[in-house]
Amino acid sequence: MMSSDPMSWDMYWVEDRCYRRPPTVWPSTSRNENGWRDHQQQMDEEPAPVDQYDDDLLDCQYTSANVDKADIETDTATGGRSSPPLPSTQHPPGFESQIGKASEKNTTDYDEIVSVVRDPNNPKIWKAEVSIPSMFFARVIGKGGTTKKGLEADSNCRVVIPGHGQTGPIVVSSSSGPENVRQCVTRIGLIISSARERADYTHFLSIPLNSRTIKEAFVRFKQAVQNCDDIPDASKNEALFQYPSRLHLTIGMMALLDEIDRELTKSALVNCIETVIRPMLAGEKLRVRLRGIEYMNDDPSAVDVLYAKIVDLNGPSKLLQKVADSIADTLAQTGLMPRRKDTVKLHVTLMNTKFTRSKSSTQPNTIDIRKILENFRDFDFGEAVVEQVHVSQLHANISSGDYFPSTATVSLI
């Protein structure tokens, strides 16, 4: 059983920084829940030539894209013995900057759960496979191969990366011992975690709150706002309002870049609900009420998001908050969903200026909601039962009457 005392965990070193690693969990299957697979590949496989990768890929910048009618509030998304640091090695130019940027991030270790195994054909060799999206191979190689060379020099490992246009795991191997392999995997994980933080979001974890009662009440709310003469025209633009069918609670945002990412997310979500959430609910229905409206910033005359407040009807236990936080914690441990706050902000977005933004739009970036608050502050949208959690897809071309398409849907009941 994993020790809960961090001071009892093994230490390892990245550059001049010391970290602690939770005890390694050895999986019994060929691929474990964090995306690692037992190695079956031969050591005589040649690494991909560095010049197969376009250096321009290494300079690409990732920015968060606007999403039509999607609620993107990014404030919502190591016992016992110590391990000495590996000998200091002179790195190729540019290596420290690549690792340094990654190590300063608040990231999840890639090697919390990892299979490091002996090569069945050569018991002196230790190996691990790192499954990452192929778009990140160039990041691990670095310009002119500097990052890859630095990884190999510092850890006494060999790093084999699939060739250009190919997919598959990165293979890390060493005759020096399993700890060398783990340290190399850790550094690869830091690089990839840094790259992921700048990748466009592709999915978000959502709880639909679009019962018939709530949808009908939301339509009445929208009509009342649009028919109120006291409210400025810019603050009742039709495009500002969420579609009734897409009302939801966002648990967190994710960049799922290949099928491995999507399967890992689904597996982690299913495991969390089966082992944590259902025992927590103990057969009780998770009932909520949307009542009252609030806004994101401090100035009601310049607001970008107006949302409905969620009231937990399950008593003082704050059950919905516990469910949302437990799911967010589990997905954050996969490294696929950033955890920027300790608790998930429980809210349902009703209006968002992002819904109207485009290069040709004349809609201001903020709206004045003072009159909306004055007239509708305590508006009651009704009740709903939380039944499912969705891994919802962004940027999908769907009808305004449909909920977001999902790559996975898991029932809480």
pLDDT single digits (tens) 236-286: 999 999 999 999 999 999 999 989 899 999 999 999 999 999 999 999 999
Q: Is the model's pLDDT at 42 over the cut of 90?
A: no
Q: Which residue has the higher pLDDT, 194 or 351?
A: 351
Q: Are 385 and 229 in contact (CB under 8 A)?
A: no
pLDDT > 80? residue 184: yes
Identify residue 323 by its one-letter amino acid code.
Answer: V
Tens digits of residue pLDDT in 275-333? 999 999 999 999 999 999 999 988 999 999 999 999 999 988 899 999 999 999 999 98
CB 405 within 8 A of CB 396: yes
Q: Does pLDDT of 15 surpass 60?
A: no
The pLDDT, as a whole number, for residue 339 is 83
Q: Please say whether the beta carbons of 265 and 391 come within 8 A.
A: yes
Buried b (16+ CB within 10 A) or exposed e, 240-255: bbbbbbbbbbbbbbbb
Give the number of C-alpha atoms closer than 13 A to the C-alpha of residue 322, restricted to the C-beta side.
Answer: 14
> Span 327-342, mean pLDDT?
89
- Mean of the per-residue pLDDT values of the chain: 78
Of the pLDDT bands very low, low, confident and very high (cuts 50, 70, 90), residue 8 is low
Q: How confident is the model at residue 193 (pLDDT cuts 50, 70, 90)?
A: confident
Domains of the chain: 6-197 (3.30.1370.10), 203-411 (3.90.1140.10)
With a cut of 90, say whether residue 112 has pLDDT above it: no
All residues at 6 or more sequence positions from 181 whose CB lies less than 8 Å from its CB, including other chains: 116, 126, 127, 128, 155, 157, 172, 173, 174
Say what the pLDDT of residue 57 is. Answer: 36
- Residue 25 — very low, low, confident or very high, per pLDDT cuts 50/70/90? very low
pLDDT for 88 equals 39
Q: Region 388-402: what's the mean pLDDT?
A: 88
> Angle at Cα 319 formed by Cα 317 and Cα 323, nearest 5°?
145
pTM listed for this prediction: 0.69
The pLDDT, as a whole number, for residue 20 is: 57
% of the chain with per-residue pLDDT over 90: 56
Whole-number pLDDT of residue 362: 63
Query: Residue 274 burial (CB < 10 Å; 0-12/13-18/19+)?
Result: exposed
pLDDT band at 355 (very low <50, low <70, confident <90, very high): confident
Q: Is the pLDDT of residue 159 over 80?
A: yes
Look up residue 98 and give its two tokens: 């690549």
Contacts of 248 (CB under 8 A, 6+ apart): 71, 206, 207, 208, 209, 210, 348, 392, 403, 404
Phi, psi of 372 (to 5 degrees): -65, -45
Any idea what DSSP says for residue 93?
T
**Ramachandran region of residue 96, left (φ > 0), alpha (ψ -120 to 50) or beta?**
alpha
